[in-house]
Amino acid sequence: MRKVLLTGLLALILSGGAMAYSVGAYANDDPGRGLYLPSDITLAQAQLAIEAGLKVAKERGLLMDIAIVDAGGNLKAFVRMNGAFLASVDIAIKKAKTARGLNMPTSDLHRAAVPGGELYGIEATNGGMVIFGGGELIKNLEGTIIGAIGVSGDSVANDTLVAQAGAKAVLKSFMAALKTPKP
């Protein structure tokens, strides 16, 4: 994606901005080009995070709802395992939105939101925020937040574990891409 963008911009600059807008060459590869921000989480990455989360859940016999939001906080992908909590549909999505909405894991909110804490009552905003663990940020290699993952269905410790596995899987995929020799 980055290379595509660079090529496009270079061409635009070199041509003095007069070049006709032409992305036909890319149309087949990415019909959504221009409709979302460069480096925003892709569906492939979201599915990678979900697969990694499901793998940990299955290994441990956990039943999970897993939600991914993009950098804009909008739902990108979601799965509910067979038998996982119905209420966790909303909780998983809200965990991901809360993490991205405040740029921190939801576990960081836990202490601040108790009575007397600095953010006491924050859960009543934004149509309901989640102030316990299970929401984690998804970042790229530059540390830019490209989305978030929210997991709900078991103990907070297990929700967090699965969420971190998902976020880590995306980060690893960036590292793997770096190491791959280019032809």
- The residues in 147-166 that bind a second copy, with binding defined as CB under 8 A, are 155-156
Give the pairing of strands 145-152 and 65-70: antiparallel
**Comparison of 152 and 164: residue with beta carbon closer to a second copy:** 152
- Both structure tokens of 111: 């202490």
Residue 115 in the binding site for a second copy (CB under 8 A): yes
The 3-class SS string of 99-131 reads: HHHHCCCCHHHHHHCCCCCCCCCHHHCCCCCCC
User: Is the CB of residue 146 less than 8 Å from the CB of residue 154?
Assistant: no
The least CB distance from residue 167 to a second copy, in Å, is 15
Contacting a second copy (CB under 8 A), which of 55, 119, 171, 173?
119
Residue 176 in contact with a second copy, rule: CB under 8 A: no
CB of 137 to a second copy, least distance (A): 10
Per rule CB under 8 A, is residue 42 in the interface with a second copy?
yes
Which residue carries 């574990």 as its tokens?
A: 161
* C-alpha to C-alpha distance for 141 and 151, rounded to whole angstroms: 23
**Separation CA 149–CA 77 (nearest Å):** 10
User: Closer to a second copy at the Cβ: 100 or 164?
Assistant: 100
Interface residue with a second copy, options 49, 76, 162, 170 (CB under 8 A): 76
The span from the CA of 138 to the CA of 96, in Å, is 10
Cβ of residue 107: shortest distance to a second copy, in angstroms? Answer: 11
Check residue 24 for interaction with a second copy (CB under 8 A).
no
Q: Which is nearer to a second copy, 45 or 164 (CB)?
A: 45
Query: What would you report as the CA-atom Rg of the chain, rounded to the nearest whole angstrom?
Result: 19
